[in-house]
Amino acid sequence: MRQGKSIVAVTGIAVVSALMYSTAAFAFFNPLSWLSRQPPDDLAPVLHNEFAKVYAFYQRMAMFPVFKPATETPGDVYQDILGNGRFLAFRKDCFPGLKPVKSSSTLPNVNDAVTVELDGDAKAAIEDAKLIGGQFALKTTGNGSLSFQNVEVAVATPPELLKAFKSQNTGCGPVAAILSQGKTPGQTGVILGTVWSARMESRQVLRAEGNGKVEATADELLKLIDELGKRVVKHGLPVKLELSGSIDPKGKIEHEVTLTNTRVLPVGWQPAFISTEDLNKILSLLKQDRISIMKKTFIYERQRSPDMPNDQVRQIISKEAGFALPRPAEIAANASTGPFVEFNAENEDHVRYVAAVDTVLALSHELEVEPQRR
């Protein structure tokens, strides 16, 4: 999740449809409840790519991650499901009268959080610390933990979006095509229907590292952490830094710090509409267990041969599953191209679809770039 420097259709709907897709049906989708019904996570431990780890985590909650949080709200329109700060249109322009229903919610903690999962402000603080001069540099050691505080969910149903839509407003033509539900085939874009926001708190273990010839002292580490705190203040980052404790593993002096974002920012979302063609394709793969076969084959091959080139792994898992693993951009395009159907969070197939797209994106991101060999 990123911000700043750091580190997704229908002109008329019957009344019965509006009743079926009521606000309550959307507002009460519970990511924790969905996660509790999922099998133990066996994919994340064998992933190395940071984005792959995030998609694997969000797959277990059946939502898409926000990597570059801005002001995401129901009615905003991403160019595709990858998001990444690329908007096609905004709620204030195309759905000016829309009032999403808001309520409190909960999200699970991440006990093995990679750097990319940090909120952008916390990430910026740690990255900036690497610019501190002198004999030693501040380094993060391993993965930390991430918790979500003050979680809120905002929901806008498809009928509400249709009622609030202003087709004549500037820049809303492409959105009208998405809402035409098949009358304008090939239109791309994703309207956000549900958005979760939270204040993130990250615990990270920091170490002072020199050039390999000189060992850092506890005082040197504390000086660097103090300098980090000053830089947070200097740059006006809304991050609170607290020293949590000291650690001395194998002679390496380390300190645990807590970085708390003082703002509530978007962290995850579900679409208001999903691609009919991609939904049918993914559901067919799920029915035939092919995505599960691909995931299990990947886990087996990664554990058996950790240094196997990614292209070779991609070929093996594609052959075993009986379908070619697409690249991330292709997955995003398929999931963001109409005609569209209304997304219903009470429909098990729709929720399974979102989770499956996350899984495929996790595998695809993992195999997109060769990891550094350890």
- Phi/psi of residue 3, nearest 5 degrees: -155, 150
CA–CA separation, 33 vs 128, rounded Å?
Answer: 38
Reduce the DSSP state of residue 201 to 3 states and report it: strand
* Model confidence pLDDT, tens digit, residues 83-120: 988 999 999 999 999 999 999 998 887 765 554 455 55
Contact status, residue 261 vs residue 200, Cβ threshold 8 Å: yes
CA–CA separation, 107 vs 148, rounded Å?
Answer: 6
Q: pTM value?
A: 0.80
* Model confidence pLDDT, tens digit, residues 50-79: 889 889 989 989 999 998 888 899 999 999
Q: What is the pLDDT of residue 23?
A: 37
Q: What is the pLDDT of residue 309?
A: 94
Tokens 């995505």 found at: 291
Q: What is the pLDDT of residue 240?
A: 76
CA 255 from chain centre, in angstroms, equals 28
- Tell me the average pLDDT of the chain: 80
Q: What is the pLDDT of residue 373?
A: 45
Reduce the DSSP state of residue 4 to 3 states and report it: coil
Q: Is 189 left (phi over 0), alpha (psi -120 to 50) or beta?
A: left
CA–CA separation, 213 vs 133, rounded Å?
Answer: 17
Q: Which residues contact 36 (CB under 8 A, 6 or more apart)?
A: none
Strands (DSSP E) contained in the chain are 64-65, 77-78, 87-89, 101-104, 110-113, 137-140, 144-155, 190-209, 239-247, 254-261, 265-271, 273-275, 340-342
CA–CA separation, 127 vs 228, rounded Å?
Answer: 10
pLDDT band at 292 (very low <50, low <70, confident <90, very high): very high
Q: Please, what's the b/e burial string for 117-142 (b: 16 or more CB within 10 A of its CB; e: otherwise)?
A: bbbbbbbbbbbbbeebeeebbbebee
Residue 24 has pLDDT above 70, yes or no: no
Amino acid at 209: E
Residue 273 has pLDDT above 70, yes or no: yes
Q: How many CB atoms lie within 10 A of CB 256?
A: 17
Measured between its terminal Cα atoms, the distance across the chain in Å is 26
CA–CA separation, 226 vs 270, rounded Å?
Answer: 40
Region of poorest pLDDT, from 91-105, 248-262, 282-296: 248-262
Give the closest residue to 354 by CA, choosing from 74, 20, 2, 38: 38
Secondary structure, 3-state, 140-170: ECCCEEEEEEEEEEEECCHHHHHHHCCCCCC
CA–CA separation, 50 vs 330, rounded Å?
Answer: 19
- Segment 3-10 shows an average pLDDT of 28
Q: What is the pLDDT of residue 152?
A: 94
Sign of CA dihedral 41, 343, 336, 2: negative
Vertex 154: Cα angle to 152 and 159 (nearest 5)? 165
Amino acid at 90: F
* Model confidence pLDDT, tens digit, residues 162-216: 999 999 999 898 899 888 866 566 788 999 999 999 988 877 777 776 666 566 6
Q: Hey, what are 12's tokens?
A: 């008329």
Residue 39 has pLDDT above 90, yes or no: no
- Segment 304-326 shows an average pLDDT of 96
